[in-house]
A and B are shown apart, each in its own frame.
Chain A
């Protein structure tokens, strides 16, 4: 069973998508220097199909992607809900999973997600926006993992280059 503490509309987590990020609690990874230690406790509302339905009613037309932030304690449910979102939106909405595990957990298939972030947070290496990071962000296309971690490592203040 999954529980979540909050959600937000975010833009950086999944490049080029407007995502509804669901902050799932009971994170088992316990990374040192975790930016959201409050997510390590098992609390919040239950995240199941009926909660997904409610969120879709509220934000389904506004976002392009649903992003599961965490959920490593119950990977099967994350996968099941991801499939459910695809099915109930006729694959109009993409799904992303921010997992703290180094590999996709067994019995899970990349085919059920459009984006995947893998890797625990290691304080000395930094997050996705650090050039030394151990984490990877993948776009999934035709069953292949395409590494797009570089998209996060654009230096801040690079607007002049983009112009």
Chain B
């Protein structure tokens, strides 16, 4: 029978002795020598070819054979020849990727490694960002495995690569060198400008320099992070500068003309013009981030939250934050932003309203009312409710324990500086099915994986500390964020699918609850075990914008059961129509999220807006169920013909009657046109069940 070998593209080909002979002859000729038949036979004697031997392996054998026969110069020439071809192949692959990218439907579908709807266009700038991603992955993996070997030995390092390559775990944001996301304290900037993080602007001194400087500062900070940048003090600082110029009680006279130019703007107009400058600037695509806009998050507070976070805060002039005016400014910004979103698509900031709860309702009645009013007005934002101000959700995903509510004259408010250094995700569906296939208890196998991911994260942390020692991380050095207050995050994905594979019904029932508590409780116990005074872990149900799709695909390919094409970050099945709205709050209630220390937001998808009273009742439902983090999602309609943006989910443009419509919804945490989602995510979005609020 004829021997077949495997070519580089995976195709089979009949083995040809003549081809090897020819290659050997050419190698001899390239060093000015000649290979006689006897020489060739001696070399060939050392080569062993069977069915299925790869071309790469044959060439390796030729190399070894040449050296064994002591033709060192020839061997060297042969190796150089192979290396050159390898490089050519890499260039050819990159070129192919380039062509594919140019032909892809949109930027998120074209991206091979971490597709992302925050890139609206594909163009030269986004392509330049895509090309080196595979190199970053290799580099990151190498740095990490070197460190794991040093700390825990080669076996652990090999196991990591094995679990990674077999998709039991997934390293998030491996295409970036930077640490993940951060909620920053702006106090160091307020005191000394951007010099300490490598910029050249001085500390802001007035409203104008604050607004201009703030934009630059957010861009600089974001260029050193791979994820989001949250500025929970944005409005409080802005309020301080407005107060410096117009007095703390400025909000009483917002209608007064304060601009004496021909424009004769009122104070309100001056303030909203600054909102416009900041929000529009930050929503621009950014060169330093491969044409992505920066991910910018802000927070609003009720009076209780505000007090607990900032009661000790002191501005450089010795004054304290002024709640009454900030209260006005928060509401003004939110209303302005809601209205502005009917003019153009503005993704950022992602906003979170922080409310304290008491006796089953919002403790601050004014803010509970206002929150319901804004939802009823069609505004889209997150709400975080907690019965004590022990944590803050400063970002579209991350919940952070506030470990220190104090104030320092160099770093400002302690509570706001936090974030996640790195996320490493466990594909629960695969892990649990793997254990079942081997008739092992799933917790037994999962425990090994959980232990390993903690070790890997510890190694990542050491690499980050190394970077800091070498002066590569000015955000930490300048005190914007703090190495020991940033979390190492263990992500989970495919929880619902894992439970389904065990035959568990995905409703609020004892078996599902026990499963969720066991799995997430195991991770939390390891988070505690590995915690030191400098290292903290949390656990998060990751939004999985692109890995949710990948996991589903890989699991299917490898014969695991996966009932859908995308693993989501909810405790319920997204397309399940039998669960009502209260059931979904319940499935994101305290019993289920108890061990999710890093948070998970309930995205309550509704097909129509509700009234203020109804939203108020749903806030109560959230408190009663202990669902601390949620948003309401009503698809907004964008008309592709006339550009009209409508806060409702419509089938026809109310202005020009066109049916060529696009919809805005949250892909994960942030609002984007559905047509910007990657193709797989668009399918997932079309299957999301938007609860029909009416049966009429």
Binary per-residue interface labels of chain A (46-64) against chain B in the complex, 1 for a CB within 8 Å, 0 otherwise: 0000000000000101111
Q: Tell me whether B695 and A21 are in contact (CB under 8 A).
A: yes
Q: Tell me whether A12 and B694 are in contact (CB under 8 A).
A: yes
Cα–Cα, bound, A4→B342 (Å): 43
Residue on B with the closest CB to A11?
A: B693
A12 in complex: contacting residue of B618, B648, B696, CB < 8 Å: B696
Known: A16-B614, A62-B582. Contact between A156 and B696, CB under 8 A?
no
Cα–Cα, bound, A8→B580 (Å): 6
Q: Tell me whether A159 and B617 are in contact (CB under 8 A).
A: no
Contacts of B339 in A (CB 8 A): 163
Residue on A with the closest CB to B691?
A: A9
Count of residues in A whose CB is under 8 Å from the partner chain: 30
Q: Tell me whether B646 and A160 are in contact (CB under 8 A).
A: yes
Question: Taking the nearest CB of chain B, how far is it from the CB of A60, in angstroms?
Answer: 10
Question: Taking the nearest CB of chain B, how far is it from the CB of A139, in angstroms?
Answer: 13
Known: A10-B695, A128-B696. Contact between A163 and B614, CB under 8 A?
no
Q: Tell me whether A163 and B377 are in contact (CB under 8 A).
A: yes
Cα–Cα, bound, A62→B691 (Å): 16
B654 at the interface (CB under 8 A from A): yes
Residue on B with the closest CB to A159?
A: B647
Binary per-residue interface labels of chain B (654-696) against chain A in the complex, 1 for a CB within 8 Å, 0 otherwise: 1000000000000000000000000000000000000101111
Interface residues of A in 50-107 (CB under 8 A from B): 59, 61-64, 69
Q: Tell me whether B613 and A17 are in contact (CB under 8 A).
A: yes
B535 at the interface (CB under 8 A from A): no
A127 at the interface (CB under 8 A from B): yes
B122 at the interface (CB under 8 A from A): no
Contacts of B696 in A (CB 8 A): 12-13, 127-129, 152
Interface residues of A in 117-146 (CB under 8 A from B): 127-129
Q: Tell me whether A61 and B693 are in contact (CB under 8 A).
A: no
Count of residues in B whose CB is under 8 Å from the partner chain: 32
Residue with the highest number of chain A CB atoms closer than 10 Å, among B338, B378, B621, B696: B696
B608 at the interface (CB under 8 A from A): yes
Q: Tell me whether A157 and B650 are in contact (CB under 8 A).
A: yes
Q: Tell me whether A159 and B581 are in contact (CB under 8 A).
A: no
Binary per-residue interface labels of chain A (3-47) against chain B in the complex, 1 for a CB within 8 Å, 0 otherwise: 000011111110111100101000000000000100000000000
A-B contact count (CB 8 A): 80
B695 in complex: contacting residue of A63, A64, A69, CB < 8 Å: A69
Cα–Cα, bound, A156→B338 (Å): 19
Residue on A with the closest CB to B652?
A: A157
Q: Tell me whether A17 and B614 are in contact (CB under 8 A).
A: yes
Cα–Cα, bound, A152→B360 (Å): 31
Cα–Cα, bound, A161→B613 (Å): 18
Q: Tell me whether B624 and A62 are in contact (CB under 8 A).
A: yes
Q: Tell me whether A159 and B378 are in contact (CB under 8 A).
A: yes
B610 at the interface (CB under 8 A from A): yes
B609 at the interface (CB under 8 A from A): yes
Known: A59-B582, A127-B696, A159-B648. Contact between A11 and B614, CB under 8 A?
yes
Contacts of A128 in B (CB 8 A): 696
Q: Tell me whether B609 and A159 are in contact (CB under 8 A).
A: yes
Residue on A with the closest CB to B578?
A: A6
Q: Tell me whether A13 and B695 are in contact (CB under 8 A).
A: yes
Q: Tell me whether A61 and B611 are in contact (CB under 8 A).
A: no
Q: Tell me whether A18 and B618 are in contact (CB under 8 A).
A: yes
Residue on A with the closest CB to B625?
A: A62
B582 in complex: contacting residue of A23, A63, A162, CB < 8 Å: A63
Cα–Cα, bound, A148→B58 (Å): 84
Contacts of B694 in A (CB 8 A): 10-13
Q: Tell me whether B648 and A8 are in contact (CB under 8 A).
A: no
Contacts of A12 in B (CB 8 A): 608, 693-696
Known: A12-B696, A18-B618. Contact between A157 and B646, CB under 8 A?
yes
Residue on B with the closest CB to A15?
A: B611
B378 in complex: contacting residue of A10, A23, A163, CB < 8 Å: A163
Residue on A with the closest CB to B508?
A: A58
Residue on B with the closest CB to A64?
A: B617
Q: Tell me whether A61 and B648 are in contact (CB under 8 A).
A: no
Contacts of B614 in A (CB 8 A): 11, 16-18
Contacts of B648 in A (CB 8 A): 156-157, 159
Contacts of B693 in A (CB 8 A): 10-12
Contacts of A156 in B (CB 8 A): 648, 650
Contacts of A21 in B (CB 8 A): 695
Cα–Cα, bound, A144→B339 (Å): 40
Cα–Cα, bound, A10→B360 (Å): 21
Cα–Cα, bound, A157→B657 (Å): 12
Q: Tell me whether B342 and A160 are in contact (CB under 8 A).
A: yes
A16-B614, A62-B625 known, 10 other contacts, Cβ within 8 Å: A8-B695, A9-B580, A10-B695, A11-B693, A11-B694, A18-B621, A129-B696, A157-B650, A157-B654, A163-B339
Nearest 7 pairs between A and B by C-beta?
Answer: A12-B694, A11-B693, A9-B580, A157-B654, A16-B613, A62-B582, A159-B647
Q: What are 12 inter-chain pairs, A to B, with CB distance below 8 A?
A: A10-B695, A11-B693, A13-B695, A61-B621, A61-B624, A62-B624, A63-B617, A69-B695, A156-B648, A157-B646, A159-B647, A163-B378
**Chain A interface (Cβ < 8 Å from any Cβ of B):** 7-13, 15-18, 21, 23, 36, 59, 61-64, 69, 127-129, 152, 156-157, 159-160, 162-163
